[in-house]
Amino acid sequence: MTSRLKSLVIAAIAGLALLGGVSTSIAQTTSPVLRSWMSPDIADAWTKGYKGQRTTITIVDDFSSGSKFTGNLGTGSLLYRHGEWTRLEASMIAPLATIKSQSFYSGTTVPLASGLNVLNLSYGMYAKGTYSLGQLGWSAQESSIISYAKYGRAVTVKAAGNDGIAIGSTNAAGNKDFLNLALVGAPSAIYVGALTSNGTVAKPASLASYSNKAGTNTAVQSHFLVVGVESSKTGLAGTSFAAPIISGYASVLGSKFTTATPTQITNQLLNTARKDTLLNYNATTFGMGEASLSRALAPLTIR
């Protein structure tokens, strides 16, 4: 399943209020179970008591369309909308986080809660590559998201996209993801690409054939992470399902480093990524490397 794409209307993005505001997600559990698609680092974090408590993950996605597809994250085969899948995935990584949902059709400002906020964006906003970023108008929704990332008010986790190109490039249809472009240089933004599996030193992972890569822009490379998306185990493929893993990691970090800012959490994930678990690591493909929750949690404090 590729990322859910959202049409970008030039000059103004007028969203339909199909699902107003935000709502608490599915019930969380205090006794989470490590699933086969997860990194073992996650169970180690839970054992130490870091499960996302006192943090909020807001999933901006599709919760109202008629488009549903089947997958299995280890809880049985389910038929869900795209947003229901990304929401479930993030909640399984960070089971004590407050999970909120906002329809990406709403066009309304994304509200922030007290404590650490993490925004999961498993969608793109596409327009012809002949446009420049300055020619585009944003709805209140994307304006708030971009502002939170630029001013370090929320960890903003963006699926890199599934066109098999470098972020910021024009895809085969002649379009660019302008939400990707708008987040370049934002201190608390993270782009997430997909690996074919969770990498190890003994068995390093490769970038999934569909996944966008970091490219040559160092401002993108320095904010680009990769994680395993094992579709053979879940039936779900695409960077859409890489992003919620990083959103969950950010939340878990926030439950240990309770006074850390979104930018500090972002930098901790970026700066502790692994390169030795990736096949033929290079920054243009993998950015900072494969996210490592255990390394990110290791120090007593972060700054």
Could you tell me the pLDDT band of residue 303, with boundaries at 50, 70 and 90?
confident
Question: Based on the structure, what is the number of domains in the chain?
Answer: 1
3-state secondary structure of 8: coil
Structural domain span for residue 280:
4-297
Indicate whether 23 pLDDT > 90.
Answer: no
Q: Say if CB 24 and CB 99 are below 8 A apart.
A: yes
Residue 7 pLDDT greater than 50, yes or no = no
The per-residue pLDDT for 28 is 52
CATH of the domain at 72: 3.40.50.200
| Strand partners for 4 | 123
Q: 60 near 22, Cβ under 8 Å?
A: no
Q: Find residue 5's DSSP bridge partners.
A: 124
Classify residue 301 by burial, with Cβ atoms within 10 Å: 0-12, 13-18, 19+.
exposed
Q: Residue 302 domain-assigned?
A: no
Residue 194 inside a domain? The answer is yes
More confident residue, 13 or 98: 98
pLDDT-based confidence at residue 30 (cuts at 50, 70, 90): low
**Domain-embedded: residue 209:** yes
pLDDT level of residue 78 (50, 70, 90 thresholds): very high
Q: How many CA atoms lie within 13 A of 285 on its CB side?
A: 16
pLDDT digits (tens, 9 = 90+) for 151-204: 999 999 999 999 999 999 999 999 999 999 999 999 999 999 999 999 999 999
Single-letter amino acid, residue 266: T
Q: Is residue 303 part of a domain?
A: no
Q: CA quadruple 196, 271, 269, 81: dihedral positive or negative?
A: negative
Torsion angle, alpha carbons of 97, 263, 164, 141, to 10: 70
Digit-coded pLDDT (tens) for 213-272: 999 999 999 999 999 999 999 999 999 999 999 999 999 999 999 999 999 999 999 999
CA–CA gap between residue 223 and residue 230 (Å, rounded): 23
Please report whether residue 116 resides in a domain: yes
Task: Tell me, yes or no, whether 224 lies in a domain.
Answer: yes
Q: Is residue 53 part of a domain?
A: yes
Can you tell me which residue has the tokens 């960890």? 155
